[in-house]
Amino acid sequence: DSGVTQTPKHLITATGQRVTLRCSPRSGDLSVYWYQQSLDQGLQFLIHYYNGEERAKGNILERFSAQQFPDLHSELNLSSLELGDSALYFCASSVYSGRANEQFFGPGTRLTVL
């Protein structure tokens, strides 16, 4: 158990809908990262937040947005969902903002779009 929690564990929804995935980092960690793992794409970096501010952005679609709140938990919002958004979404956390920090991954949220 890495200490990173993600809710919900599973989510099934329909195309066109909007969902919110939640991540709580390890106690003391200030950075949160979001990743998408789909069957044909491998692990894709979406976005990195440090202490509430965006630090780096990967291939995150405009339909997706994220934020980190003052209590350091983060939410990933996915809207106008498409079948191709079905994937496992991981959150990770690290202590600091640097790119050389070891990251601790949560158990993931599996999203199924029907």
Partner 1 sequence: ILNVEQSPQSLHVQEGDSTNFTCSFPSSNFYALHWYRWETAKSPEALFVMTLNGDEKKKGRISATLNTKEGYSYLYIKGSQPEDSATYLCGNYGQNFVFGPGTRLSVLP
Nearer to partner 1, 45 or 61 (CB): 45
Q: Does 100 bind partner 1 (CB under 8 A)?
A: yes
Pick one of 103, 109, 111, 113: the residue that binds partner 1 (CB under 8 A). 103
* Nearest distance in Å: CB 88, partner 1: 9
Q: Residue 77 is encoded by which pair of tokens?
A: 């919002």
Q: Residue 14 is encoded by which pair of tokens?
A: 């329909």
* Nearest distance in Å: CB 46, partner 1: 9
How many residues of this chain interact with partner 1, rule: CB under 8 A? Answer: 23
Question: Which residues in the 20-49 window bind partner 1 by CB under 8 A?
Answer: 33, 42-45, 48
Question: Which residues in the 49-88 window bind partner 1 by CB under 8 A?
Answer: 56-58
Q: Does 89 bind partner 1 (CB under 8 A)?
A: no
Cα 79 to Cα 17, 29, 34, 94: the distances in Å are 6, 28, 16, 27
Residues that bind partner 1 (CB under 8 A): 2, 33, 42-45, 48, 56-58, 90, 92, 98-108
